[in-house]
Amino acid sequence: MDKVKNNKREARFVSICLAFSLLIFAGLFHDLAMGAYKAYISNNTRMLVEVLLFTTAIFFVAYGNILYQVCLLGFYKRRDGYNHASRDVLEQRYLGKAPALTVLIPSYKEERKVNWQTMISAALAEYPSKNVVLLIDDPYYATALPDRVRLEDTRLIPQELQAQFDIPKAEYTAELAGFKARLAGGKLNQANELMALSAHYENVASWLDRVASNFMGNQDLASLHYADRFFVETILHVPASQHRARAAELSEMLANDSMPGAAYIERQYARLVGLFTVNFTSFERKKYSNLSHEANKAMNLNSYMGLIGKSFKEVSMEDGTWHLYEVKPEAADFTIPSADYVNTIDSDSLMTCDYALRLIDLMERPENDRLAVVQSPCSSFQGCPKSLESTAAACIDIQFRTHQGYTYWGGSFWVGANAMLRRTALEEIKELRMENGHPVYIYIQDRTVIEDTESTIDLVHKGWRLYNYPERMTFSATPPDYGSLLIQRRRWSNGGLLILPKLFNYAIRAPKNLALAKEMFMRFHYLASTTTGCIAALILMLYPFGDVFSTVWLPLSIAPFLVLHIRDLRNSGYHASDALRICAMNLMLLPIVIGGVLKSIQQIITGKKIPFGRTPKITGRTAAPAFYSLIAVMMPVSYAVMAMQQMAQQHWAQFFFTMVNVAFLTYALVKFIGVRAAMEDMLAGVMVRWRNAFYNAEIIQIPTNVQSPVPTPMVAGQQA
């Protein structure tokens, strides 16, 4: 992944492609302007309308095309000019007082392995001390037996991990205390200390190897599921090899008689303690009726954030529910530790071992005191054998690069799968809301299903900045089938329109300068691209333009983008042919994206929030709604009919364009969805509708000659 070695050369190549694209689009829009002028002069209203429609579609296409290239240019410029902090600098954090860190993992009905892996990755992210909190959002009193079993198992994970980490923590805490005693007593022997430290680092590596071995069980690495293999290799084996390298480095110092100072030795002991100083807990907001029960990830996080640094007592109410009341620490049942930084990470995501040290080091620099959010946008787990999953992963990995460009041009957005958040920034944007008669604090907006995006505008409005770290340090699962991908992409495409007014309000109030122009160029596209993309696609695919709109500028305008996209894929570890698969997948997802945009419009009209649709993470296949399955089957058929009509009318340019769409849609149906799976989902949808119609049908009373008894009025206190 990220195979590029010469960033300057890549930036020059992108600049050349960008210059060509600007010239080509200038020529295209010149021709369209001339066409509009001729239609106006000749009083040809239909032609004028068609030119304006076509120009609108091409404008949206050009906007996205140019923005992609501008982001890519920013990506390479950032990589060329960025200097990472050395390990020696990062490890200084182990000496002295480090800012308090809490890692929050929102979880809803996840499998045990998913939660366990994420908690382990958070715990192994190096930092002097941290709290790792699993925010369990399942119903507190589960009714179904499988749900109860899973919930009880989930509640045990923090306790099991605490016991596992406490043993080496106690050992290395004692070793650190012993070193300090020897140093204070003047009995320090550097050679003995180096020898002991080398052995300790070897032991830490062996501890990680045992964790990996227990996780794999009787399987070897090659036979694991690709996501599990990634977990073992990246989260466990990589730090193990780094600890062995440190052990070898210490042994080499000893062999070369290159004795470090006492501060270096103390730092190594402190680091060993810090590797295992983790406080594992869980929290369930749904236990307490005076906390928010809104069914979304944002309110799960908000509920806990509102408690940080405070002490609480649990009170059982007369109606059988529990309330949580803030009290003084001495009267409390529990205290939520304070935190200078809160790191959120989804329960299907993993962070590398240097994640916390690097991000907090960046945020603690004096010049970054107004950085509110620092993140490493999620990349995908590598090695997926499934066609759809691999193609979706390629899109995610390309988005990592565009997000780097957003930062370069001053338009970063908070991407909610993971983020390091500054508490003081969150306190500035919090709002108070009443829910069921109880006050709740809102840090992350839940008005839309893309809650992190709206909170971005809240932060920049308050003068805070956001930053994408230019290294891949977090990784996330990709939806494995059409049904789960549908839910994810429909959610992603819903909400941008709702946030646009807030963006415009920010732009009106912000100082007018070149920086704001660049920022708005990036931010407007981020919020509006799903809507504008749908408009452009529908115009170009459905409106019967004549061959008069066929121009050499169109294929020329696509060429630079396609060349860069293929190059981007190859530099990210994929194949050139994946570009065609991405086209097929995006065309397949078009009705779903339109559905998400329509949900935004529905919320604008009705004022009612759209329910948060969590991406399913199940072992089997996620069924798609029958409506979308029907569309997936009918689209290639409809386009084939349209192509035959265009051929009969000898509209050859349109015929070629339509046949390309037929090929893409057919490939998507067969390879990504599966004809059999689509038919099963359609049949299942029909059966559900029939069953609901049958059981919910109006009951018709059949008249009889038998007189019903008159009901006797119930006396107060009498049971029915």
> Do residues 420 and 341 lie in contact, with contact meaning Cβ atoms separated by under 8 Å?
yes
Burial of 47 (0-12, 13-18, 19+ CB in 10 A): middle
At residue 549, does pLDDT exceed 90?
A: no
Burial of 143 (0-12, 13-18, 19+ CB in 10 A): exposed
Taking the mean position of all CA atoms in its chain, how far away is CA 712? 62
Q: How far apart are CA 214 and CA 230, in angstroms?
A: 16
At residue 544, does pLDDT exceed 50?
A: yes
Tokens of 315: 């009170």
Burial of 616 (0-12, 13-18, 19+ CB in 10 A): middle
| Residues β-bridged to residue 134 | 105, 282
The mean pLDDT of 131-145, rounded to a whole number, is 94
Amino acid 525 reads H
At residue 444, does pLDDT exceed 70?
A: yes
> Do residues 661 and 587 lie in contact, with contact meaning Cβ atoms separated by under 8 Å?
yes
The mean pLDDT of 308-322, rounded to a whole number, is 91
Tell me the H-state helices in 217-353: 226-230, 238-255, 262-276, 297-305
Query: Counting every residue, how long is the chain?
Result: 720
48-62, 175-189, 327-341, 544-558: range with lowest mean pLDDT: 544-558
pLDDT band at 704 (very low <50, low <70, confident <90, very high): very low
- Strands (DSSP E) contained in 387-427 are 418-422
pLDDT band at 546 (very low <50, low <70, confident <90, very high): low
Of the candidates 601, 455, 477, 395, which has an alpha carbon nearest to the alpha carbon of residue 111?
Answer: 477
Q: Note the pLDDT tens digit of each residue in 562-588.
A: 999 999 999 998 999 999 999 999 999
- Mapped onto helix, strand or coil, the DSSP state of residue 494 is coil
> Do residues 2 and 72 lie in contact, with contact meaning Cβ atoms separated by under 8 Å?
no
DSSP for 567-580?
Answer: HHHHHTT--TTHHH
Range picked from 124-138, 590-604, 641-655 for highest mean pLDDT? 124-138
At residue 276, does pLDDT exceed 90?
A: yes
Q: Strands 341-345 and 431-435, how do they pair?
A: unpaired
Q: How far apart are CA 449 and CA 136, in angstroms?
A: 19
Tokens of 251: 């042994």
List Cβ neighbours of 212 (8 Å cut-off, separation of 6 or more): 232, 236, 237, 240
Which pLDDT does position 319 carry in this prediction? 80
What is the Cβ-side half-sphere exposure of residue 448, based on CA atoms within 13 angstroms?
A: 29
190-199, 357-366, 433-442: range with lowest mean pLDDT: 433-442
Q: Note the pLDDT tens digit of each residue in 659-676.
A: 999 999 999 999 999 999
Q: How far apart are CA 443 and CA 423, in angstroms?
A: 10
DSSP 446: -
Helix axes 626-648, 578-606, angle to 10 degrees: 120
Torsion of CA 520, 526, 530, 533, to 10 degrees: 60
Give me the chain's average pLDDT, please.
90
Give the pTM: 0.90
- Residue with the two structure tokens 């071992």: 353
Burial of 660 (0-12, 13-18, 19+ CB in 10 A): middle
171-180, 357-366, 459-468, 480-489: range with lowest mean pLDDT: 480-489
Q: Which H or E run includes 438?
A: strand 438-442
> Do residues 41 and 373 lie in contact, with contact meaning Cβ atoms separated by under 8 Å?
no
Q: How far apart are CA 411 and CA 70, in angstroms?
A: 12
Amino acid 15 reads S
Which pLDDT does position 360 carry in this prediction? 97
The mean pLDDT of 265-277, rounded to a whole number, is 97
9 CB neighbour count, 10 Å cutoff? 12
The mean pLDDT of 332-336, rounded to a whole number, is 95
How big is the chain by its Cα radius of gyration, in Å?
29
- Residue with the two structure tokens 């008005």: 447
- Residue with the two structure tokens 């040290």: 357
Q: How far apart are CA 62 and CA 60, in angstroms?
A: 5
Which pLDDT does position 142 carry in this prediction? 86
Tell me the H-state helices in 473-552: 482-492, 496-509, 514-542
> Do residues 161 and 119 lie in contact, with contact meaning Cβ atoms separated by under 8 Å?
yes
List Cβ neighbours of 343 (8 Å cut-off, separation of 6 or more): 101, 102, 103, 104, 122, 356, 359, 418, 419, 420, 421
pLDDT band at 617 (very low <50, low <70, confident <90, very high): low
